Amino acid sequence: MGSLAVTSEHNVTIISFEVIDLRFPTSLDGVGSDAMHVGTNGSHPYIQLKTNHDDLIGEGIAFSNGRGSELICMALDIFARRIVGKTMHELTRNMGKTWRYMVSDSQYRWIGPEKSVTHLAVAGVLNAVWDLWGKILHFRYITDVITPEESIKMLEETHRTKDDRLKEVFENRAVPAYTTSAGWLAFSGERMREVLQETIAAGFTVFKFKVGTSVEADRERLSAVREVLGYDKGYQVMIDANQVWSVPDAIEYMKQLVEFKPVFIEEPTNPDDVLGHAAIRKALQPYGVGVATGEAAQNRVTFKQLLQAEATDVCQIDAVRLGSVNECLAVMLMAHKFGVPCVPHNGAMGLTELTSHLSIIDYVAITGRKSMLENADSHRENLRHPSKIENAHYVTPLAPGYSTGYTDEALEKYTYPVGSFWSSDIGQKIIAQPTGGEL
């Protein structure tokens, strides 16, 4: 889908769309498990924008972890209606204006604004538009930090030295990968060691592990990790609490883990608590441990405040939580101005494919600095354009579009609730599982 090169965006009109509730049973193998989220099923509210060219379809996704996807699908249906009948010329001649159009329904803004379910849907629809075409970004609310003129100047400076970086892009050396494959909390100690050895053999040198169930359990797991990795073999460890602590708890808890020398603690507390993150970062600086956050940041304004408050060492933009490529680019430019690297949030099948594009853009066009990108291999067989890793680097995606799309077999099997998997006995058993928080 979408490989056709159309001569003019004036001749491409969005005539209809289809929303599909795709859910993958990741609860079966524990992928995605952490201190906050148990028994999750990686879910992709998936939208196809149909055009007047049968073989030209824009594809976009949002993301959830099971229940709740139906709400995002409803919102996708609502927001996609706003672009039916529009030509690609109308949508792409000024993507900033298009972005404002998508978030400007005053009645739907009431249940946002620009966050939560409505923002996930806007991201899904506009990711599908970007899959067809893209042009400019949106600066409302952030001009006190960065202006369009400053952005252009930074991009022009980076542009002067991009030829060598492009060479690395085509040699698949532009985006180093790190892995969380051994780090899921549902894994036994034996399984963790087994996967860790596999990833070392594959060339990985940076690893992330989930923490937050108890200090004793985390110390035991990290001790086992360091037994395998050592401290002087060039391996780096990062840890992720997935928002489970209060600010004081995060500081005290982390003081008991700093001896394992993590590069950073990811999401140590509530993602909206900018000043809380700043306090945690300040408390951990003497130990040489940084703070990373952003995967649940609601929009560019939250990132603006995180940067202004010196609350994070790493900006973890999320390709489907922020308002599509538009807002991701705005955050990437702000982060560059503040000298903070962007390391996009990943881990879920489908997200990796989007963020590999963003990381390449960041390296080649925005910062000129290599960062890294998470890799967690799961359900790749269901994707039409699955990301690939060679020598612990992402293989550069070269197919047209935003690397979004699912195989026909995946759509037949995992469309919720009528797909063959969800209709099966095991699928019905997963659906019937307790929802958590029962009285």
Residue that has been written with the tokens 């019937």 in this structure? 432
Q: In angstroms, rounded to a whole number, what is the distance separating the alpha carbons of residues 165 and 2?
A: 27
Residue 59, beta-bridge partner list: 48
Number of C-alpha atoms within 13 angstroms, CB side, residue 16? 4
Identify whether 210 is a catalytic site residue: yes
| C-alpha R_g of the chain | 21
Position 416, amino acid: Y
Residue 240, beta-bridge partner list: 210, 266
Q: In angstroms, rounded to a whole number, what is the distance separating the alpha carbons of residues 62 and 200?
A: 32
Q: In angstroms, rounded to a whole number, what is the distance separating the alpha carbons of residues 305 and 293?
A: 12
Among candidate residues 387, 404, 411, the one with its CA nearest the CA of residue 324: 404
Instruction: Given the residues 119, 138, 210, 413, select the one marked as catalytic.
Output: 210
Position 84, amino acid: V
Instruction: Given the residues 138, 345, 379, 413, select the one marked as catalytic.
Output: 345
Q: Which residues contact 384 (CB under 8 A, 6 or more apart)?
A: 1, 405, 406, 407
Q: In angstroms, rounded to a whole number, what is the distance separating the alpha carbons of residues 374 and 34?
A: 16
- Cis? peptide before 113, omega within 30° of 0: yes
Q: In angstroms, rounded to a whole number, what is the distance separating the alpha carbons of residues 102 and 323?
A: 10
Residue 73 burial class via C-beta count within 10 angstroms: exposed 0-12, middle 13-18, buried 19 and up: buried
Residue 424 has φ and ψ, to the nearest 5°, of: -75, 170
Conformational region of residue 39, where left means phi above 0, alpha means psi within -120 to 50, and beta covers everything else = left
By annotation, the residues acting in catalysis are 210, 345
